Each structure stands twice: as structure tokens, then as C-alpha cells.
Amino acid sequence: MLWTIIVVLFILWLLGFLGGNISPRFPQTGNWIHILIVVVVILVILRLLGIA
């Protein structure tokens, strides 16, 4: 379940990061991109440590 959340957040981050290059109509996400990647990194670290 946690890996699913990590993958979804990572895909959302990629869409936000590369969305402007893919389609100009894609909404700009600004700082939310960075927040998503920080959440993904924290979840991966917690998973690797066996906490979550």
C-alpha cells in the first residue's frame, strides 16, 4: 500500500515537473512539485528503515 502511494506521488511530481513541456494547457503547480518530491523521499526512507 505504501509503495502504491509512493508511485502515485512520484508520477504526480513528474507530471507537474514535465507537464509544461508535454502540453502548454497543463496546469502549473509551482512549489507543490517540491513538496510532493519531499513527501516521496520521506516515505521511501521510512519504508527502507522499516518504520512504515
Sorted by where each begins, the domain ranges of the chain are 2-49
Please state the separation of Cα 31 from the chain's center in Å.
12
| Residue 52: Cβ within 10 Å count | 13
What does the pLDDT read at residue 23? 67
Torsion angle in degrees (nearest 10) through CA of 20, 34, 40, 45? 140
Distance separating the N- and C-terminal Cα atoms of the chain:
10
**Rg for the chain, CA atoms, rounded:** 13
Q: What is the pLDDT of residues 1-48, one digit of tens each?
A: 778 887 888 887 777 777 666 666 666 666 677 777 788 888 888 888
Q: What is the pLDDT of residue 20?
A: 65
Amino acid at position 49, single letter: L
